[in-house]
Amino acid sequence: MSNLAWNCRGLGNPRVVQFLKDMVIPKKRQVIFLCETLCMKEKVEKVRHLIGFESSFSVDVIGRSGGIALLWRNEEEVSIRSFSKNHIDVVVRVVGCANWRLTGFYGEPNRRLRRNTWNLLRLLSQQSNLPWCVIGDLNNILSHEDKRGGRRYPEWLVQGFSETIIDCNLIDMDLMGYSFTWVKSKGTSDWVELRLNRALVTQQWLDIHKETTLFNMEVSTSDHTPIFLAINKCIINTNVRRFRFENAWLREPMCNDIVLNYWDSNKNSEYSQKLLACQSQLEVWGKEITGNFTQRIRDCKHRMKHLKQRRDSDSLRLYDDEQNKLNEVLIQKEIYWRQRSKQLWL
């Protein structure tokens, strides 16, 4: 099932509607998520009819901004779970493929309210164990390489968004084609480009959707370009959870000890059995090392603040120890995030 996401900047524009028809009808797109529709439900229904889709769900515009809509070709394949002015969450049921979850997402454009976007993503991540895909205009970048031109993007926005993606166990899919999806003042000295539109998926989702590619369509009647998630192959069996080795574990001496202990204790076992033994132990132990970076950083900073106030020699020594621990957690977090910056695991 292929998916298209686009910040169309208003379905009331005839050029936008024609552009949408040209993208959808010849290519047989299955699901379309639109944000900034700037219209009411009646207009979305007209567009749905024009492109030949069976169903749609929309959240009306508030004032002169916002509005989101999800349209899909076959009515029985999609069911609504929840929605807000910033998201539409559905379950996708396709014959021959395991059920999965799709969330069309529109990030809060006001930077002062951006934490609302992050908190909403965290909340949604806790509501289901289904394989999950989030697609749309997230209105945030994950690294400074996602921006070209203009002033440097605020570090707190990059950091906050990155932490949210880690907390939600999401992976940012590689974008094929042009690197940026939003442009301002093109061709002038104030030319700025950002990658605001993206697809975020869980590893479980990648495990059942093979040969999936995210494309930047590059041409648009809006200042945002559409992104297209092409799903070429899926598998039905989702019961087998694949083990993934975390590079961040290599920073921990305990990782080496676990491997040596279980390798030595199974000297007479087959090579494959040794690997499985190490795998099971690393998986249990690794949950305490990765996936809770935010809490570990918070705890270190709290202890450092307390020790700094005491100002005695022992406290200063302990403060330095905590500083080293904090630096180590930050390094592990960077390694963890770098490993997830690729669509496929190495």
pLDDT digits (tens, 9 = 90+) for 284-295: 777 766 666 777
Asked if 138 and 162 count as a contact pair (C-beta separation under 8 A), the reply is no
For 193-229, b where at least 16 C-beta lie within 10 A, e where not — what string?
A: bbbbbbbbbbebbbbbbeebebbbeeebbbebbbbbb
Residue 67 has pLDDT above 80, yes or no: yes
Structural domain contains residue 295 = no
In a domain? residue 36: yes
Would you say residue 345 lies in a domain? Answer: no
For residue 92, give the nearest of 103, 102, 82 by alpha carbon.
102
Number of domains in the chain: 2
> Are both 217 and 166 inside the same structural domain?
yes
Domain boundary among 243, 267, 286: 286
Residue 90, pLDDT > 70, answer yes
**Helix-, strand-, coil-residue percentages of the chain, each rounded to 5:** 40, 25, 35
Q: Mean pLDDT across the stretch 36-65?
A: 92
Q: Judge if 279 and 182 occupy the same domain.
A: no
In the predicted model, what is the mean pLDDT of residues 127-154?
94
| Residues 264 and 211 grouped into a single domain | no
More confident residue, 291 or 77: 77
Q: Are residues 259 and 228 in the same domain?
A: no
Check: pTM over 0.75? Answer yes or no. Answer: no
Asked if residue 277 and residue 167 are part of one domain, the reply reads no
Provide, rounded to the nearest whole percent, the portion of the chain with pLDDT above 70.
90
Q: Say yes or no: 258 and 138 in one domain.
A: no
Rounded Cα distance, 138 and 111, in Å? 12
Q: Which residue has the higher pLDDT, 47 or 1?
A: 47
- Same domain for 192 and 259, yes or no, is no
Q: How many CA atoms lie within 13 A of 345 on its CB side?
A: 13
**In what order do the strands lie in the sheet containing 55-59?**
55-59, 68-72, 31-35, 3-7, 227-234, 209-216, 175-176
Q: What is the DSSP string of 83-99?
A: E-SSEEEEEE--TTS--
* Domain CATH number, residue 131: 3.60.10.10
Query: Is 181 inside any structural domain?
Result: yes
pLDDT at residue 340, rounded to an integer: 64
Within-domain flag for 43: yes
The answer to whether residue 149 sits within a structural domain is yes
Greater confidence, 73 or 27? Answer: 73
Q: Is residue 179 part of a domain?
A: yes
Domain containing residue 263: 253-286
- In this structure, the answer to whether residues 221 and 268 fall within a common structural domain is no
Q: Tell me, yes or no, whether 309 lies in a domain.
A: no
